[in-house]
Structures are given as structure tokens and as C-alpha cells.
Chains A and B, each alone.
Chain A
Amino acid sequence: MRTGIKHRGLTMAKRNKLIGFALFSPFLIGFVVFYVAPFLLSVVYSFTKGVVEFTFVGFDNYTEVFESPAFQIAATNTFKFLLIGVPLIMVLSILLALVLHRAFRGVSWYRSIFLLPLVIPVASAVMAFQVFFAYSGVVNTWLQQIGLVPINWLDSDMAFSLLVGLYIWKNVGYNIILLLAGLNGIPDELYEVSRLEGATRFQTLRYVTLPLLMPTMFFVVIISIINSFKSFREAFLLSGTLPHTSIYLLQHFMNNNFENLNYQRLSVAAFLTFLVIISLVCVYFFARKKFFEYEM
């Protein structure tokens, strides 16, 4: 007696695997050609010198990049942006999500409004931004009217704060949606129990809502970090390829090295960025297994 159902000479399981692979292969091919292979190539680049003939130089490029002031500024700014931007956006989006979680009149309006910057092309909003924050712009005119000194918004350290503001403006809606989904996942019974036991609203928040929201918050932190890497687009739209030093980011460093055909330096910076991100991902997976015991 034969085991398994045969179909055109193949067992069901094998046939299934083949179908799955066939469905997956278009993506796999493109993914390898446009993501994996280029990435591996750039790792190789980071250890070589020369344009026509490549020679292996070990970690020379790495030490060179580490010692370059431009890289140091770029890396510092990128991390500073992360360390300031992410906590700010987290606090704000948790606060807003908690408020918007309850049903009240106009709540769906507010949810739409907060999501709007996500869909609006940044370039469209940047125009208004420039009118407001140009040296002779609207905000400085206001400042002068109340007797203050105008601030050079785009060409001083204030540019950094503006970029953080733009980042929050753009991404707070996405975070709110994720957090609202997390809040909806908390069972009503738990609130019921805490109410019956006479917990105050603060206690409920402290011992029920926030602990159960932890996995979502953790994920939102990761998403916010990713989005903070995407803020280059805003910085670029705001002030081009050579902005004020305070918003000169790693991506500016990479872009400018690309334009100067300095592929090796760029590859080093790219690989270092990759290492940082991949360790974040690993921390995420590890922590989730360890603390939340969720299955993906």
C-alpha cells in the first residue's frame, strides 16, 4: 500500500512546497538582485581601495571613516536625533492614544487629523514651513512684534529642533494607530475587575493599561527608530544636501560621498548603519521572546 496521496508522481507535501516556492520566487529573485546582492557587494567594497583595480585593505577604510570629522558629526547628530526624537514622540503618542481611545464626540475626526501628515507629501508642507521659518519669515516677524530678537531657524542649532518637530508632526499619527490597536487588544474584563476593586483611574492606568500595552509600545519604539532614519528626506527638503551642521545626518554623509564617488567611505557608513539596525532588530526579537513570550 502506498503512503501519502500521490499526484502526478509527487507527494502532496512535496507538491505543496513547490507551489509555495513558485509563489515566493518572484519576490526572492528581485529581493536578491536589488537588496541582498547590492548589500553584500557594498560590504566587500568597504574592505577595498581603488576604482578600477580593487585591493584588499582590511579595516583601513573603517579607521579612516571613524577619524573623519564629517562622519563624527553625522553619527553624533543621527544618534542625538534618535535619543531626543524617539522619547518625545513616544510620550506624545501614548498620551494622545490614551485620550483618543475613549469614545467622545469628534474622536474620529481627531484620529483622521492626526493621520493626515502621514499621507501629505512632505514637499507640499515644507513650502509652508519655509514661509514660517525663513529668516524674514512669519515666525520671526511675530517675534519682532513682541520685541524679541529674530532667530535664524534654518541656519542655527534651531534647525535640529525644527527637524525633530517635523519628524513628530509626520509620524505621530502612525504611532497613535498602532497604540490604539494595542489598547483595543486589552480585554474589558480587566478594566471591570480593577473598577470593582476600587482602583483609581491612575492606578488602572499604572497597573492594567500600561503593563499590557508594553509589547505594543516596544514595537512602536522600533518603528519610531526606523522612521527617524527616514527623516533625512525632511532634512533634505528643508535645506538641501549641505544643511546646517546640527542636522547633518549620516544619510547626508552617505549621499555626499556618493556624489564625490567615494564609494568605499559610503560603504563603510552603510555597513555601520546596518550593524546598528540589525542589532536593534536582534534586541527586539530577543526581548520579545524573553519578556513577552509572544509567537510571531
Chain B
Amino acid sequence: MKKKGRFAFYGKHGMLLICSVVILLPLVYTVCNSFMATSEINHYYAGINAQNGTTAFHLIPDMFSLDSYYKVFVGRPDYLMKFWISLFLTSAIVIGQLIISVLAGYALAKFALPFRNFFMFVIIALMMMPYQVTLVSNYIVLEKIGLLNTYWALVLPGIFSPFGVFLMRQILSTMPDAILEAAKLDGANQFQLIRKIIVPSCKSGIVSLVILSFIDYWNMVEQPLIYLDDPTRYPLSVFLAHFNSSNLGLSFTCGVLAMIPVLLLFWLFENDLTKGIAFSSLK
């Protein structure tokens, strides 16, 4: 009996440990390699593009160096420019999405709108579509209203997020109506209701929407490739995707740079994020 318990204990921790290593390895590897000097990178990855070369597993820098960071920050202003473009675009989308989603989610959860269930069904269905489904037609619509090749083409469609509305609606429908009724009797107007009751009560939803859609748009690849003609205006995500192994050192560094904003959000709001994700369940 005791032996079996010990076996289960080691089995459990063994499994968790292996899974964690597999999950963390690509991240740790990227971070560690970003602290290597260019010469070290060139030395260790000399064989990677060769026909029959070999590449050793090289995790710990021989010598800690901020070489590539220096190069990214000082030598190549375009890398940094991409970073700011990404940050600007993503923030604009997330903020817009938040406002629209809270209002619409509140309306769907607490007002007797006509066709309310039909709207929910359409929202859920469209939430599940891959981007490619509406790609062409969106392209044509954007062309018609003259937004193609502007950043608006990325921001505007992003703001109207079915997922955001869905999430807010799920959270707000668990909130008892009595709270709203009481506030109304005290003479609160809609603006006060939203600011003082609705927003605080979907805090976990707001936080997880911010994080999830920040990640989603921080990583956007499809939209810029299609809606923007000029590659110099692409955000960091597309830029990273076009990296090749000829410039591995800088790629690692840019990869780390791209992780920083999301890791920061994650570190600050992990608890709310888990709560919000749990709410996104349709149950």
C-alpha cells in the first residue's frame, strides 16, 4: 500500500516535471541565447544552415553579453520602431474592444433586447471562425471605405470582438439584478451604473479580455500581411516571422523583446486571467 503511494507520488511529480521542462525549454532557450555575443552565436550555430552540419545544444552563454541588445536598441532603430508600432496598434485595439465589449455585454446580459438569443448564437458562431473565412470580403469592405493600407484596417475590425462581448455577457449574467435595481432606486443614472457597478463586477473579465486580446493582436500575422502593402509598416509579429537563421542572435533578442509586454501583464494579473478564462466556459 505504502509502496503504491510512493509510486504514484513519483509518477505524478515526474510527469509534471517533464511537462514543465518541455513547456519551458523553448522560452528559456530563447532568453539565454539572447545574452550571447554575436561571435558566440556565430560560432555555435555555424552548422545550422549547412547541408550536413551539426548544432550543439547550447543553453548557458560562455560569456554573458548585452551585445545583441545593444545592437537592437542602438544599431537598428527599425527593430525598436516595430516594437512601438505593435504596442500602439495592440493598445488601440484592446482599449476599443474593452469599451465596446463592456457596453454590448451589459446590454445583452441585463436588457430585454429583441432577438437577444439570436444575437448570442451569431456571436458564438462568428467567434469560432478562423480569420480566413472573412478575409476577402473584409478586404473588399475595407477597400470600399478607403481604409486599406492604413492602420485603421487593422484596428477597426479588431475592435469589434465577438469574444469580448461573449465574455462580458457571461460574467454579467451571473450578477444578480437586485444590485442594479437598488442603485437605480437610489437615483443612479446609466453612466453611474456602468462606472460604479458594471465595470467593477466584470473586473476579472476585463483583465482576461485585455490579456487574451493583447496576446492575440500582439501576435497578429494574417491581417497585416493582407491589409498592408508596405512591409516597412508591418508590426513586430510579422517581422519576427520573417526572420531567418542568418541573423540568429538578433532574432533571439527580438523574440525576448516581444515577450516582455505580455509577460508583464501575465505576471501582474495571472489570478484575474484564470478567473476570466473560467468564466468563458459556456456551461
Contact between chains at B55 and A123 (CB < 8 Å): no
Using CB atoms, name the residue of chain A closest to B21.
A113
Report how far A131 CA is from B36 CA in the complex, Å.
Answer: 15
Q: Is B29 an interface residue (CB 8 A)?
A: yes
Contacts of A294 in B (CB 8 A): 283
How big is the B interface, by class?
A: 35 or more
Q: Is B35 an interface residue (CB 8 A)?
A: no
Contacts of B69 in A (CB 8 A): none
Q: Is A190 an interface residue (CB 8 A)?
A: no
Separation in Å of the A260 CB from the closest CB of chain B?
Answer: 12
Contacts of A33 in B (CB 8 A): 141
Q: How many residues of A contact B (CB 8 A)?
A: 102
| Contact with B283, one of A121, A136, A219 (Cβ below 8 angstroms) | A219
Contact between chains at B156 and A34 (CB < 8 Å): yes
Q: Is A31 an interface residue (CB 8 A)?
A: yes
Separation in Å of the B227 CB from the closest CB of chain A?
Answer: 11
Digitize B118-145: 1 where CB-to-A-CB distance is under 8 Å, 0 elsewhere.
0011111111111011111111110000
The stretch from A15-23, A53-61, A82-90, A155-163 touching chain B is A15-23
| Contact with A119, one of B101, B157, B211 (Cβ below 8 angstroms) | B211
Within 8 A of B (CB), among A243-278: 250-251, 254-255, 258, 263, 266-267, 269-271, 273-274, 277-278
Report how far A235 CA is from B16 CA in the complex, Å.
Answer: 27
Q: Is B232 an interface residue (CB 8 A)?
A: no
Secondary structure call for the A interface: helix
Contact between chains at A120 and B48 (CB < 8 Å): no
Listed by A's residue number, 18 A-B pairs whose Cβ atoms lie within 8 Å are A34-B134, A35-B160, A38-B134, A41-B141, A42-B133, A96-B16, A113-B20, A116-B23, A119-B211, A119-B215, A124-B255, A128-B33, A131-B29, A134-B49, A222-B128, A237-B241, A258-B132, A270-B136
Q: Which residues of A line the B interface, CB within 8 A?
A: 13, 16-17, 19-21, 23-24, 26-28, 30-31, 33-42, 45, 95-96, 99-100, 110-132, 134-138, 140-142, 144, 169, 174, 177-178, 180-182, 185, 215-216, 219, 222, 225-226, 229-230, 232-233, 236-237, 250-251, 254-255, 258, 263, 266-267, 269-271, 273-274, 277-278, 280-281, 284-285, 288, 294, 296
